[in-house]
Amino acid sequence: MGAGLLAQTEKIAARRAVALSVVVPCYNEIGGVAELYRRVTAVCRGQAGHSYEIVLVIDGATDGTREAIFELAKQDSHVVGIDLARNYGHQIALSAGLEFCRGQRILILDADLQDPPELLKAMMAKMDEGFDVVYGQRLKRQGEGWFKRATAALFYRLLRKMVDVEMALDSGDFRLMSRRALDHLNA
């Protein structure tokens, strides 16, 4: 391992835990990055004070998203930009953010804001009742045709039949999880 990589690894390892991490995969989101930042920051400050981080994973974006995120990270120490070498897809980007984040509670959010970050307060209240994972369930998602909705519904129903874990239908990735739950996923 090179000296530069070792120094960077030690710097990452020395990071302190925070109360809340918000992990957001981002692919060509230049039109929404500023609004995403504004809304997520407001929610985090309201729920976690100054003990939070916003982990924005740049998944091979080609539209200026990368530069916008790095500018936000320069201006706000709560923002972390992870730049993947190319577009690996949503799930790999999400996994990278989950591996990197250091929150005791972790909110997963899509960059398009169709899952409102303002639901964090209600999700935190549920977690305070003792739940390790709290799902946000979609009632309606803008911009999706009947085929996408039908295949998503079928997917979640089939998945529910194949696993022994009770899963919320139509929940997508929008969820709040405890560090304990994330550590089990990452094990």
What tens digit of pLDDT does each residue of 144-162 get?
677 666 666 666 566 566 5
C-alpha closest to that of 26 among 112, 136, 134, 115: 112
In a domain, 108, yes or no: yes
Q: Which amino acid is at 79?
A: V
Residue 161's domain comprises: 139-168
Domains identified in the chain, total number: 2
Residue 18 has pLDDT above 90, yes or no: yes
**pLDDT per position as a tens digit, 95-140:** 999 999 999 999 999 999 988 999 999 999 999 999 999 988 766 6
Residue 42 has pLDDT above 60, yes or no: yes
Q: Does residue 131 share a domain with residue 100?
A: yes
In a domain, 115, yes or no: yes
In a domain, 126, yes or no: yes
In a domain, 25, yes or no: yes
Residue 11 has pLDDT above 50, yes or no: no
Q: Does residue 150 share a domain with residue 64?
A: no
Residue 10 has pLDDT above 70, yes or no: no
The reported pTM is 0.80
Instruction: Provide CB contacts within 8 A for 53, sequence distance 6+.
Output: 18, 20, 21, 22, 78, 79, 80, 101, 102, 103
Q: Does residue 149 share a domain with residue 116?
A: no
In a domain, 146, yes or no: yes
| Helix, strand, or coil (residue 21) | strand
In a domain, 52, yes or no: yes
Q: Does residue 64 share a domain with residue 118?
A: yes
How long is the chain? 187
Q: Does residue 61 share a domain with residue 29?
A: yes
